[in-house]
């Protein structure tokens, strides 16, 4: 009798087996000519050679579905084994899926422009107010590239600029002081990748999160690189960052010109970069606005109220079109 071992890589085997081994029992019932013994992340299969080859092919399809969608149910398994598209695979316009299986896709016209710009350019500037999905959608595009193996790593960075508190007064060592500035990036990743998988990727440096200052001297190749909160970079910092770009790399630079935390006399590097680089081939610029806000409805009202206040007080409304 022929025997093979199948290793379930890159997934939680419990998700493959199902609650109470329900998924595994279903697979066994659909392959009666094969004996399947599961232990940890290894399937030991014995039986008819032709049937084993078909089972191995279907197990790999189920594994890929879990990697892509972060979830699977018995209906999906049946569709895969019967050679049909699952409901998730039939959905259009999905960038990737959250850990709960929720599809992540554009929710406005400008968000779709950001997705299109990523496909068409190697460098993208995404500028807009809080809540427009700039950072979240950018990380989703990076996760998609990693899962599809068009990129080998994700590099996420932010300038560590104080907004009312000084780094030196925060408790802990340097990592403890810096982590609060990077928390929004961790939050987005935790929503898209299972915790164990995310931790493993970070330990292996497949996913790297670091302050902007740590980028100096590096050449970033085979990666999706995201610079968040770029409005808080100086012209020298953003120039340094943009010139880190290596082969087979895409860069996304996000920022909100209404939330600059630099000293008043300091020019925002993002504002200067947009003035210099807009119109260059290979660089896409997407401006998001109030209509793209996807947070609580109060966020839109708050942004509108502050815009009205700025106009009354003759404060400039910073955008990519202002000098």
Which tens digit of pLDDT belongs to each residue from 135-189? 999 999 999 999 999 999 999 998 876 544 444 555 555 556 567 777 888 999 9
pLDDT at 322: 44
CB 281 within 8 A of CB 255: no
Buried b (16+ CB within 10 A) or exposed e, 90-108: eeeebbbbbeeeeebbbeb
Q: Does residue 321 register a pLDDT over 50? A: no
pLDDT at 28: 93
> Residue for token digits 């197990």?
59
> Which of 129-133, 134-138, 315-319 shows the lowest mean pLDDT across its residues?
315-319
Distance CA 53, CA 152 (A): 30
Distance CA 156, CA 182 (A): 9
pLDDT band at residue 1 under the 50/70/90 scheme: low
Query: Which of 176, 256, 257 minimizes the C-alpha distance to 211?
Result: 176
Q: Does residue 320 register a pLDDT over 60? A: no
pLDDT at 316: 55
pLDDT at 61: 95
pLDDT at 183: 84
Half-sphere exposure for 61 (CA within 13 Å, toward CB):
19
Distance CA 172, CA 178 (A): 10
231-264 pLDDT, tens digit per residue, is 999 999 999 999 999 999 999 999 998 888 888 8
Instruction: Tell me the two tokens of residue 58.
Output: 């279907």
Buried b (16+ CB within 10 A) or exposed e, 225-252: bbbbbbbbbbbebbebbbebbeeebbbb
pLDDT at 117: 96
49-74 pLDDT, tens digit per residue, is 889 999 999 999 999 999 888 889 99
pTM of the model: 0.77
């Amino acid at each position: 009798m022929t025997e093979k071992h199948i290793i379930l890589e890159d997934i939680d085997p419990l998700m493959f087996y199902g609650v109470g081994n329900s998924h595994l029992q279903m697979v066994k019932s659909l392959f009666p000519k094969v004996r399947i013994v599961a232990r940890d992340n290894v399937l030991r299969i014995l039986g008819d050679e032709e049937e084993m080859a078909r089972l191995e092919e279907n197990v790999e399809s189920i594994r890929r579905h879990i990697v892509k969608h972060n979830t699977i149910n018995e209906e999906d398994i049946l569709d895969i084994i019967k050679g049909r598209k699952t409901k998730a695979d039939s959905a259009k316009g999905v960038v990737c899926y959250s850990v709960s299986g929720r599809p992540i896709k554009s929710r406005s016209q400008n968000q779709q422009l950001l997705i299109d710009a990523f496909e068409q350019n190697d460098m993208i500037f995404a500028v807009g107010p809080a809540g427009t999905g700039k950072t979240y959608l950018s990380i989703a595009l990076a996760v998609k590239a990693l899962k599809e193996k068009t990129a080998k790593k994700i590099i996420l960075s932010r300038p560590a600029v104080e907004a009312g508190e000084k780094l030196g007064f925060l408790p802990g060592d340097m990592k403890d002081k810096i982590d609060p500035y990077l928390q929004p990036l961790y939050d987005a990743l935790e929503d898209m990748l299972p915790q164990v998988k995310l931790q493993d990727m970070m330990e292996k440096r497949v996913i790297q999160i670091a302050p902007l200052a740590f980028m100096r001297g590096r050449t970033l190749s085979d990666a999706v690189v995201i610079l968040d909160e770029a409005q808080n970079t100086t012209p020298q910092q953003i120039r340094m960052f943009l010139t880190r770009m290596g082969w087979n790399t895409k860069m996304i630079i996000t920022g909100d010109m209404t939330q600059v935390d630099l000293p008043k006399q300091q020019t925002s590097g993002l504002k200067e970069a947009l003035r210099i680089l807009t119109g260059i081939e290979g660089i896409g610029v997407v401006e998001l606005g109030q209509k793209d806000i996807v947070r609580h409805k109060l966020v839109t009202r708050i942004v509108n109220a502050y815009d009205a206040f700025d106009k009354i007080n003759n404060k400039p409304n910073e955008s990519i079109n202002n000098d």
